[in-house]
Structure 1
Amino acid sequence: MCWTGSVGRMGGRNGIFGAGWSGLILLAGVALLAPEAAYAGKLGQALGSAAGSVGGTAVGGVSAEATRQALAAKGMTEDDFFRMLFARGIPRAKQDLPKMVDAETEFYDVTGSGREWGYWYRFRRYASRDLDPAAVKKALGPEIISKVCATPNMVSPFMEMGGTYRYNYVGRDGQLIMSVRVSRQDCN
């Protein structure tokens, strides 16, 4: 993706939306989630033998219905599933953070609450006041949604069970610039 519009409030291109920029950020989010999403795919390990048939390494092949059945067999709820996923996944994900995803963007935190994964990115060269939130969202939002929806490990079973992802971008001052929320409805 090469975005050539103006995102700075002072006018002109700030240079942060060059070719491949948002793809690098997305790859970090997708790559980070894949091991944690594997917990959903390896329900046999987490939930016992009742889930063995839905587990394995083919995470994308695990349906929400099979996950629900495995949870029910163990007397667990969907909320238990999300709590377990976050309790195990977040500490593992944070082990490798912060890390630079390109010359100007730092991937610095992962959060999970309720049914939502949160990914946190910091523009190291720009304060929040330097960027137009609507322009940043317009530049990054569609590609973020497209990449998440095209990644089976992120859709099934997590989003099929009501899970969402939120990609948050802050300036070097730590102030939120914008966020993009991705739900199953965005993937139709």
Structure 2
Amino acid sequence: MSCLSGGSVHQDMLHSEPVDIKGVIEESADLFLRESGIAFTLRSNLENGLVRGDRLQLFQLFSNLFINAREARPKALVVNVTLSRRTLADGNPFGLAPGKYAEVAVADNGCGIAKEHIGHIFDPYFTMKKTGSGLGLSICRRIALGHGGAITVSSEPSSGTVFTVVLPAWNVE
């Protein structure tokens, strides 16, 4: 697993407000997955899925994750997203401040990521694609960090990939 967090990163958000993260994910999935005929499910156990952030940046973060999933397995792709509440304590694995967070797990059944690449996928210009720029996941990292959150990845070749994004909650109950 690779983890990058924003516990000590300067907040560079354009505009911070309460954002309905479920709505952002649905909108992004409509544009980048459902329009392409890709199977998509979203499960949420949150009554209030508000996070603190910039809606446009969060839309870009999830759009980049969905585009990557789509490009990893263009046929028979399934993307499952789970949205849940997470309370982090001191010394949490993300290196984030204690408090309430929204956790978004984006899982796909794509080709997975080789172990030798997993530590580099958030590096700018690192790509395994013939036509990729290598910026999509580094932008995801920058956005997560800029929101005081974190992004992690776990993957096994031929078994798919799970990206987990943790963002500060706005009174998530």
Q: Is TM more than 0.5 here? A: no
Bigger relative contact order, structure 1 or 2 (CA pairs below 8 A, ≥6 apart): 2
TM-score (norm 1): 0.33
Structure in which a larger fraction of residues adopt strand: 2
- TM-score (normalised: structure 2): 0.35
Structure ranking higher in helix proportion = 1
